[in-house]
Amino acid sequence: MTMLIQNSILQDASQVFLDEIEALRQVQARLDFQFEKAIALLLNCRGRVIVSGMGKSGLIGRKIAATFSSTGTPAFFLHPGEGVHGDLGMMAPGDIVIALSNSGETPELLQVLPVIRHLNLPLIGMTGNLKSSLAKRCDVVLDTSVSQEACPLNLAPTSSTTTTLVMGDALAVVLMSQKGFSETDFAIYHPAGSLGKRLLLTVEDVMHQGQDLPKVMLETSFKSALLEMTSKKLGMTLVVDNTGKTLGIVTDGDIRRVLTREQDIQHLKVQDIYTSNPKSISKTALAAEALALMEQHQITVLPVNTTNGHSEGIVHLHDLLKTGI
């Protein structure tokens, strides 16, 4: 069994952080007009951004492409090995290519370059070798070179992959800023995330309506109202007039209060126990607004009304919480 050298574990780990932070500082200091030129090309792209690289560079390339796509710049990753066996058909006029290679001499990637040139696609290179074959064939070269890898053997891609990843992040973030990419835009590309739900999910998406909607009238008996509430399982019922306009609401709380103070409930009608003019919301409002309104007034249900006060639905706190907003 290999024995742990306890004194060196955290020291070695800290050194990796220091080495990679220093590599990032060096790359940051070299940012120049080439980066600005890359942004200009990407802003003018009318197609998609194609990111390509082999090995560890390919793994970083996949993440860069995903970041572009989720921040408003359509992108995908193209494996150069698969590319030369037919996948280059994914490329089309109007696209732009970002090629990743620390050495700049990756054979599979170099084989793709003639096709890129044939299609007249702008080519941005990220490489640690500005004199490489890749660098010489690019329209823009972004220098991601490092003085040494964090690997103690100076062999495993570590610092170099970090600088490439951060360079890709820098491109994506600057593009977001230049395009005026907003929080709402971000939500559109992340509809299943909490931000997407808060900014996109409306009351109509979560409300109960139609046959699921409990409704009674003012002259309805207490017992009938209780049966309606029980059958619809929302812990409440709307009180409406004969045109469907919302007059009020009866909740579980109203029922408990009546049972506490009344000995004889046989004679009671809805008009004796309901709460008039309850808080309500429009079906076009965001679900997050409904949640905020409920929290503000410490209620668990909201009638959903039309502009003229007619009942359209009910939104329940439990349904909002289940959405994850």
pLDDT tens digit string along 25-80?
999 999 999 999 999 999 999 999 999 999 999 999 999 999 998 888 889 999 99
* Residue 192 in this model has a pLDDT that exceeds 60: no
* Residue 1 in this model has a pLDDT that exceeds 60: no
Domain 203-323, what fold?
A: CBS-domain (3.10.580)
Instruction: Tell me, yes or no, if the pTM score tops 0.85.
Output: no
pLDDT band at 244 (very low <50, low <70, confident <90, very high): confident
Mean pLDDT, rounded, of the chain: 88
Sequence-ordered list of residues with C-beta below 8 angstroms from that of 50, at least 6 positions apart, any chain? 65, 75, 76, 77, 78, 90, 91, 95, 96, 97, 98, 121
290 and 319 Cβ atoms separated by less than 8 Å: no
* Residue 287 in this model has a pLDDT that exceeds 90: no
27 and 143 Cβ atoms separated by less than 8 Å: yes
pLDDT band at 155 (very low <50, low <70, confident <90, very high): confident
* Residue 196 in this model has a pLDDT that exceeds 60: no
Q: Which CATH architecture has domain 12-181?
A: 3-Layer(aba) Sandwich (3.40)
Residue 191's CB is within 10 A of a number of other CB atoms, namely: 12
pLDDT band at 191 (very low <50, low <70, confident <90, very high): low
pLDDT band at 253 (very low <50, low <70, confident <90, very high): confident
* Residue 83 in this model has a pLDDT that exceeds 80: no
- Identify the pLDDT of residue 288: 85
Closest CA to 237 of 261, 220, 260, 259: 220
- Identify the pLDDT of residue 273: 87
Q: How far apart are CA 304 and CA 111, in angstroms?
A: 61
Q: What angle do CA 205, 209, 288 make, to 5 degrees?
A: 35
Q: 3-state class of 290 per DSSP?
A: helix
**Max mean pLDDT range (2-11, 63-72, 200-209):** 63-72
pLDDT digits (tens, 9 = 90+) for 116-144: 998 999 999 999 999 999 999 999 999 99
- Identify the pLDDT of residue 256: 87
- Identify the pLDDT of residue 16: 95
Domain boundaries, the chain: 12-181, 203-323
Q: How far apart are CA 50 and CA 102, in angstroms?
A: 18
Q: Which helix (H) or strand (E) holds 212?
A: none
Which range, of 77-86, 145-154, 156-165, 285-294, averages the lowest pLDDT? 77-86
- Identify the pLDDT of residue 198: 58
